[in-house]
A and B are shown apart, each in its own frame.
Chain A
């Protein structure tokens, strides 16, 4: 799913982002609750990230990437890339 980060500068600077969290979590055989527990966040937050409603902070994005032994760029992909 896709997240949007509006920098406050209007549509010109809006940042659209897809992510592969759901795909990687499913491949690892983890539930949303188990991934949340591993990262120290709630099941609801994992669900929001996967559905593109919430764009995580940089530290959380790094923790997600580290958990899947991938880079942030491998998981969070700007739209158009």
Chain B
């Protein structure tokens, strides 16, 4: 991979927020919670606008929001993503433990998250080892 900057797309993060938030809002509407759905639309529209405006700035965060940047900025993004993954994994494990204690050993959806995380890690490690 090149050390040089890639331009990225200014709307990259905004698009994820709008599409993901829109999907969540639509599901909430279908579920009958119309007020909450409208609130989610407003929240994700504002978040998408903020991400779009911030991604135009000449800064590390701006470059990461554009899904672009140079080697250092991409490394920052990967490290932050890894930390976020560790936090999510810890939360899923803790949630599974609490759920098992409260629901007669049933870890519920936390189990799915843990399995997806574990399989993704093993597959990633196997793939990345071949390239390094």
Contacts and interface: CB of A to CB of B under 8 A. Distances in A.
A41 interface: yes
Contacts of B71: 41, 45, 56-57, 60
Give the dominant DSSP class at A's interface.
helix
Contacts of A43: 58
B67 interface: no
Contacts of B2: 40, 59
A52 to B, nearest CB: 13
Contacts of A48: 72
A57 B3 contact: yes
B5 A56 contact: no
A51 interface: no
Interface in B96-125: none
Interface in A24-81: 39-45, 48, 54, 56-57, 59-60, 63
Contacts of B59: 44
A2 to B, nearest CB: 17
Given A56-B71, A60-B71, A44 B3 contact: no
A10 to B, nearest CB: 20
A66 to B, nearest CB: 13
Nearest to B72: A45
Interface of B: 2-5, 58-60, 63, 69-73
10 contacts: A40-B2, A40-B5, A40-B70, A41-B3, A44-B59, A45-B70, A56-B72, A57-B3, A59-B3, A60-B3
Interface of A: 39-45, 48, 54, 56-57, 59-60, 63
